[in-house]
Amino acid sequence: ARRIVLAARPQGEPKETDFRSETFTLGEPEPGQVLLESLYLSLDPYMRGRMSDAKSYAPSVALGQTIVGEVVARVLASAAPGYAVGDLVLAHAGWTTHALMDAKGLVKIDPATAPLETRLGVLGMPGFTAYAGLREIGRPRAGETVVVAAASGPVGSLVGQLAKRDGARAVGIAGGADKCAYVKKELGFDAVIDHRRDDMAQALAAACPDGIDVYFENVGGAVWEAVFPLLNAFARVPVCGLIADYNGTSAPSGDLTVPGLMRGVLTKRLTLRGFINYDLEFYREDFLREVGAGLRDGTIRHTEDISVGLDSAPQAFMGMLKGRNFGKVLVRLAQ
C-alpha cells in the first residue's frame, strides 16, 4: 500500500517537499476492523490548517503522519459484523491507497442512490456545510440578496443554488472567466463577479443594488472588505472559511479595523456566526433528502475536478488553495 505523509510543516504556500510518499504493508483486520481500498480521496481546504501546528478546532497532523482526509472506499476484507467484502463506505482513512479501520467510524453508502464522487462533494461534507450553514445561520428569505465566494466550488455552488430555491437573489464571486461563466450559466446565479478584477468592490456594489442580506463567508480577505459596507441591517454572515488567509505567514491585514467591524455589528444589528459542519449534524436527514432529490431530478448541479493516482494529491491540493481547481477536488485511486 502507499500513503502520503506530512514531511515538513508548510511555511506559507505548501510545496512538494512538504509531502512524502511512502510504501507500507498492512496486516489482516482484527475483530471489529475492515481492510479498505480507497477509490476516491477528497482534498479540502481545511487540510491546510491541519498541516500547521497553530492551535485550532482540530488537532494538527504530526510530522511523518498520514495526512488526514475522507475517502470513498471498498471493503477488501472484513472482521466486523455487518460489513462484507465489496461494501462501499465513507471513511476518514487519510491520503492512503489502503487502510485498516475500525468499522465503528464508517458510513455505508449505496452506489445505486447517487454517483460515488458526489459522496465527498455536493452530497458529502462540503455540500452539508453549505446546507447546514445556510439553514441555521443564513436563513435567506424570498427577495433577499445572498452573496457567496468560491462560488464554483462544492460549498459555494450549493449555497447559491439553495438560496435560489428559497426565492433569494444569488450573487457569486469566482476567479476567472470560465468559473464566472459556469456560475452564471450552469448554476443559475443571478450575477457573478470575478474577484481578480481591480474594480471588484465597485462591481459587487453594482451587482447588489439592494445591499446584501446574507453573506456566506468562504474566503475573507479583499472579498470580505468589499462585502462589509454593503451589508444591510439585520444581515446574517455564516462564517464558514477564510481561505484567503490559509497560506498567510503574518496576521491578516486590511482596512477594516476591529472597532470598525464592531460598530457595523452594532449599528446594523449584524449576526456573524462561525460554524464547523459537524456542529450542525441535526440537519443531516433534511440535507440528504433535499439535496439528494435535487441531484436525482437534475435541478442541483455540481462538478468535480478529478486527478488520478495518489501522487497527484499534493499538486492538486496546492492548486486548490490558489483557485486552480474547477469544482470539487478529488483524487481517483482505484476503479
Instruction: Determine if 44 is a binding residue for ligand NDP (CB under 6 A).
Output: yes
Instruction: Determine if 244 is a binding residue for ligand NDP (CB under 6 A).
Output: yes
For 101, the 3-state DSSP assignment is strand
Region binding ligand NDP by CB under 6 A among candidate stretches 134-142, 214-222, 227-235, 292-300: 214-222
Instruction: Determine if 45 is a binding residue for ligand NDP (CB under 6 A).
Output: yes
Region binding ligand NDP by CB under 6 A among candidate stretches 73-81, 93-101, 171-179, 255-263: 171-179
Q: How many CA atoms lie within 13 A of 304 on its CB side?
A: 22
Instruction: Determine if 303 is a binding residue for ligand NDP (CB under 6 A).
Output: no
Give the residue nearest to ligand NDP (CB).
Answer: 153
Q: Which of 93, 106, 240, 318 binds ligand NDP (CB under 6 A)?
A: 240
Region binding ligand NDP by CB under 6 A among candidate stretches 10-18, 152-160, 205-213, 228-236: 152-160
Cell of 174: 469566482
Give the footprint of ligand NDP on residues 83-142 (CB under 6 A). Answer: 126, 129
Closest CB to ligand NDP among 164 and 179?
179
Instruction: Determine if 276 is a binding residue for ligand NDP (CB under 6 A).
Output: yes
Q: Which helix or strand (DSSP H or E) is residue 33 part of?
A: strand 33-42
Q: Which of 40, 46, 83, 215 binds ligand NDP (CB under 6 A)?
A: 46
Instruction: Determine if 69 is a binding residue for ligand NDP (CB under 6 A).
Output: no
Q: Which of 14, 124, 154, 160 binds ligand NDP (CB under 6 A)?
A: 154
Instruction: Indicate the burial class of 101 (C-beta count within 10 angstroms; 0-12, 13-18, 19 or more).
Output: buried
Region binding ligand NDP by CB under 6 A among candidate stretches 83-91, 92-100, 140-148, 320-328: 320-328
In the complex, minimum distance from the CB of residue 123 to ligand NDP, in angstroms, rounded to a whole number:
14
Q: Where are the alpha helices (DSSP H) in 242-312?
A: 258-267, 284-296
In the complex, minimum distance from the CB of residue 137 to ligand NDP, in angstroms, rounded to a whole number:
11
Does residue 330 contact residue 305 with C-beta atoms inside 8 Å? yes
Residues 326, 323: Cα–Cα separation, whole Å: 8
Give, in order, the Cα–Cα distances in Å from 131 to each of 30, 127, 128, 137, 162: 37, 6, 5, 10, 8
Instruction: Report DSSP letters for 105-125, one per residue.
Output: G-EEE-TTTS-GGGGGTTTSH
Q: How many CB atoms lie within 10 A of CB 159?
A: 33
Q: What residues contact 193, with CB distance under 8 A and at least 6 apart?
A: 171, 172, 173, 174, 180, 200, 203, 204, 207
Region binding ligand NDP by CB under 6 A among candidate stretches 81-89, 150-158, 224-232, 265-273: 150-158
Q: What residues contact 107, with CB distance under 8 A and at least 6 apart?
A: 89, 90, 91
Instruction: Determine if 150 is a binding residue for ligand NDP (CB under 6 A).
Output: yes
Q: Which of 32, 211, 221, 292 binds ligand NDP (CB under 6 A)?
A: 221
Q: What residues contact 266, with CB distance under 8 A and at least 6 apart?
A: none
Does residue 254 contact residue 221 with C-beta atoms inside 8 Å? yes
In the complex, minimum distance from the CB of residue 175 to ligand NDP, in angstroms, rounded to a whole number:
3
Applying CB under 6 A, the residues found at the interface with ligand NDP are 44-46, 126, 129, 149-150, 152-156, 174-175, 179, 195, 218-219, 221, 223, 240-241, 243-244, 275-277, 320, 323, 325, 329
